[in-house]
């Protein structure tokens, strides 16, 4: 028996001895290193997304680029990298970054909505101003604010974005204001003739001016003051 044990021990391979000065790497460390490399590789590769899911990721990356670096630094390559997609996926949908930015803003701005009959012009104006403020202070609104500030000296591109803001935000607000005032005239809490284009310009003009001067944020209570101290005195009987 002793001879058999000694023979088996002699036949067994000797354990590997690391070279002089080298430290053995535990298996767990090697596995962790491999996992880290795999994750890094996966994060660098484009994700396979299509349709609306891909568009939302691109719009999200576009707004990030606008609010963090500004329009001048925004590039199609940068947006594609942040959205983890290929640059070709962007150019298949948008010929330029102007078109991409317009679509990103259009997709993410709160939609204009009709103001219901609340029984008084004051209540309806407060609701309208609140919705306008929500649009201004949304993420897309912050991007619009950064965009307009940066493009003040680039008249050609600035006009494109100004037209967008007028069509998408200002004109719907004016139309809603006129509806409120006309309803108030019929109800009797708004004087006849107050529902006109000049009066309807006041609220969006004041809000856009204050938002621009105050860094995109309005002081608490400003909207109520605008209604009670400016709009209502203009239109009351």
HSE toward the beta carbon, residue 224, CA cutoff 13 A? 3
Closest CA to 128 of 140, 142, 115, 146: 115
pLDDT at 9: 46
Length reported for the chain = 237
**One domain for residues 177 and 77:** no
- Residue numbers in the chain where pLDDT is lower than 70: 1-50, 151-155, 215-216
Using CB atoms within 10 Å of the CB of residue 115, give its burial: 0 to 12 exposed, 13 to 18 middle, 19+ buried: middle
Is the pTM here over 0.85, yes or no? no
| Separation between Cα atoms, residue 128 and residue 112, nearest integer Å | 10
Instruction: For residue 184, give every residue at least 6 positions away whose Cβ sits within 8 Å of its Cβ, in sequence order, or none.
Output: 120, 121, 124, 190, 194, 195, 235
- Residue-level pLDDT at 43: 44
Domain total in the chain: 2
pLDDT, tens only, 121-160: 999 999 999 988 888 888 888 888 888 777 666 667 778 8
Residue 34 lies in a domain: no
Has residue 164 been placed in a domain? yes
pLDDT at 141: 84
* Domain enclosing residue 79, as ranges: 51-108
Query: Do 86 and 159 reside in the same domain of the chain?
Result: no
- What pLDDT does residue 210 have? 82
* Cα-based torsion angle of the residue sequence 215, 219, 225, 227 in order, rounded to the nearest 10 degrees: 50
Cα dihedral sign for 234, 206, 160, 51?
negative
Q: Is residue 169 part of a domain?
A: yes
71 and 170 belong to one structural domain? no
Return the CA Rg of the chain.
31
CA distance 195 to 71: 38
């Amino acid at each position: 028996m002793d001879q058999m044990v000694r023979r088996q021990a002699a036949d067994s391979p000797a354990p590997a001895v690391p070279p002089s000065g080298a430290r053995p790497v535990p298996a767990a460390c090697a596995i962790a290193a491999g996992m880290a490399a795999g994750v890094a590789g996966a994060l660098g590769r484009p994700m396979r997304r299509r349709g609306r899911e891909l568009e939302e990721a691109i719009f999200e990356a576009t707004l990030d680029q606008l609010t963090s670096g500004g329009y001048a630094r925004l590039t199609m390559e940068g947006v594609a990298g942040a959205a983890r997609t290929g640059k070709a996926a962007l150019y298949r949908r948008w010929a330029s970054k102007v078109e991409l930015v317009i679509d990103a803003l259009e997709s993410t701005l709160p939609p204009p909505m009709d103001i219901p009959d609340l029984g008084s012009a004051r209540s309806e104006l407060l609701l309208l101003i609140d919705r306008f403020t929500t649009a201004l202070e949304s993420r897309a609104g912050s991007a619009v604010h950064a965009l307009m500030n940066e493009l003040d000296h680039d008249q050609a591109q600035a006009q494109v974005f100004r037209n967008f803001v007028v069509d998408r935000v200002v004109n719907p607000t004016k139309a809603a204001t006129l509806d409120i005032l006309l309803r108030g005239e019929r109800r009797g809490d708004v004087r006849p003739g107050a529902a006109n284009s000049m009066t309807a310009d006041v609220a969006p003009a004041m809000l856009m001016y204050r938002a621009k001067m105050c860094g995109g944020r309005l002081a608490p209570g400003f909207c109520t003051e605008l209604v009670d101290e400016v709009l209502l005195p203009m239109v009351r009987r």
